[in-house]
Amino acid sequence: MSVTYEEFADSRLTALLRYAVMLTGDPHLAQDLVQETMVRVQLNWRRVARADAPERYVRRMLTNQYLDWQRGSWVRRVLLRAEPDEAVVVRPDHAETTVDRDQVWTWLSRLPRRQRAALVLRYYEDLPDAEIAEVLGCAVGTVRSAISRALATLRAEFVEV
């Protein structure tokens, strides 16, 4: 009845990679993030498989990894790779009145990680708030306020453009 690690990786690895791309905004970081998580998943597979829903359990592991990553290696990697973002921020010649499509991506990268994760879980993974709360390990109310703050920030950016 319970799935093996191989079956799980066969069916879920691609989806996890996409989720990680949405969280990090960078394919390399996404790959690192998924790799680190999946190594731990495989080493502890028995415990993972015992969870009610292994998929949700792993998504939670990956999200925690992403949130914790900011200290240490994460910061270094972001600083090394994300310099172009800074350039985008100060570029003054945005003549278009419509929002530049990649602009949304840049704004996302400036959100606090927890807010970004909440946005990804709702608008990319289409999860109900209760499940988002479970993934982020917080109350439903906290999820809602995080999302509303994130959306407010994004709207303000739209206004400026």
User: Shortest CA distance to 18 belongs to which of 59, 54, 57, 61?
Assistant: 59
Nearer to other proteins, 42 or 70 (CB): 42
User: Least distance (Å) from other proteins to the CB of residue 34?
Assistant: 6
Binding flag, residue 39, other proteins (CB under 8 A)? yes
How far is it, in rounded angstroms, from Cα 13 to Cα 131?
Answer: 20
User: Shortest CA distance to 111 belongs to which of 72, 63, 157, 59?
Assistant: 157
Q: Which of 18, 56, 60, 77 binds other proteins (CB under 8 A)?
A: 18
Binding flag, residue 31, other proteins (CB under 8 A)? yes
How far is it, in rounded angstroms, from Cα 45 to Cα 83?
Answer: 37
Contacts of 9 (CB under 8 A, 6+ apart): 38
Q: How many residues sit in the footprint of other proteins (CB under 8 A)?
A: 42
Residue with the two structure tokens 């709207």: 155
User: Least distance (Å) from other proteins to the CB of residue 31?
Assistant: 5
Binding flag, residue 1, other proteins (CB under 8 A)? no
Question: Alpha-carbon dihedral of residues 32, 35, 37, 38, nearest 10 degrees?
Answer: 170
Q: Which helix (H) or strand (E) holds 56?
A: helix 54-68
How far is it, in rounded angstroms, from Cα 143 to Cα 118?
Answer: 7
User: Least distance (Å) from other proteins to the CB of residue 77?
Assistant: 15
Nearer to other proteins, 28 or 50 (CB): 28
Contacts (CB under 8 A) with other proteins, residues 70-129:
99, 101, 104-105, 108, 119-120, 122-124, 128-129
Residues of this chain that bind other proteins (CB under 8 A): 9, 13-14, 17-18, 20-22, 25, 27, 30-31, 34-35, 38-39, 42-43, 99, 101, 104-105, 108, 119-120, 122-124, 128-129, 144-145, 147-149, 151-152, 154-156, 158-159
